[in-house]
Structure 1
């Protein structure tokens, strides 16, 4: 097809054609697909123009499905938590621990074991410290690799 011949028949209105520099843009009015058509030595060829909206919609759908799965897992996890109480804990000084007891006659010191709350606090502290250490190591590595 030559530009001077005019545009071809558009199959009973299915396609809308627009002349552009170097070829024709074709809109499929049934599917909404846009194609760029050019004429080369081998003849006319049309290539679908990537549709960013379709990619965005697919990503939104994937994220919504993932969000629903995570919400279900969270609800599952929350229902299995034990040890929760509805009434507030009595106010006390967490630093004021019970004095070690001396066993009768043996003169051995008994040291109370840490509570689950104490262990959880230590684990949280260690996790945060580990993450900060890893972040610092990554920054140092980036700084060194950028200077070499």
Structure 2
């Protein structure tokens, strides 16, 4: 019996030691700052400390300027602004697609009839000669040629008059 009693005392003592070690380990883990387990990465700056939260990706600036202790302020995240803008543009894009689909609906009263042959705006097709290898282009009419010649004559006269004026202006100054 004695042997059984000392054995139970040893096992009770071992259980107590194990319990106290586990409790002290939990208390030690809770008392450690978050920087020791890798949650925050800190970098010193001229004004204080730059803190990166490795779990959320939030960046903060921390300083002791207020006199009441250290204070950390989150830096605005451009990614959130970009995600919001992308979402807004996607909604606008869907709205415009729906509007465009509504405009493309078939129009009532439209006829599929061919244009009359006496349509003055319709140009004649260029003629194909020699088995489809050459395209014949219609030549300008006499009226078109007269208009072009009168334009060129007026332009030539103006050019000659301008050259004469330039010659008179420079000959008087030299």
Q: 1:93 to 1:28 in 2, by over 3 A?
A: same
In structure 2, which of residues 40, 65, 89 is the aligned counterpart of residue 63 of structure 1? 89
TM-score by length of 2: 0.43
Which has the higher Rg, Structure 1 or Structure 2?
2
Normalized per residue, the structure richer in strand is 1
Give structure 1 stretches of 5+ with no counterpart: 1-7, 95-148
Structure 1 stretches of 4+ moved >2 Å: 80-91
Find the aligned partners of 2:56 and 2:115 in 1 and give their Cα distance: 63
1:37 shift after superposition: 0.6
Q: 1:89 to 1:54 in 2, by over 3 A?
A: farther
1:54 shift after superposition: 1.8
Superposed CA RMSD: 2.4
Secondary structure in 2 matching 1:55 = helix
Find the aligned partners of 1:86 and 1:71 in 2 and give their Cα distance: 27
RCO greater where, 1 or 2, for CA within 8 Å and sep 6 or more? 1
Find the aligned partners of 1:60 and 1:51 in 2 and give their Cα distance: 15
Q: How many residues align?
A: 87
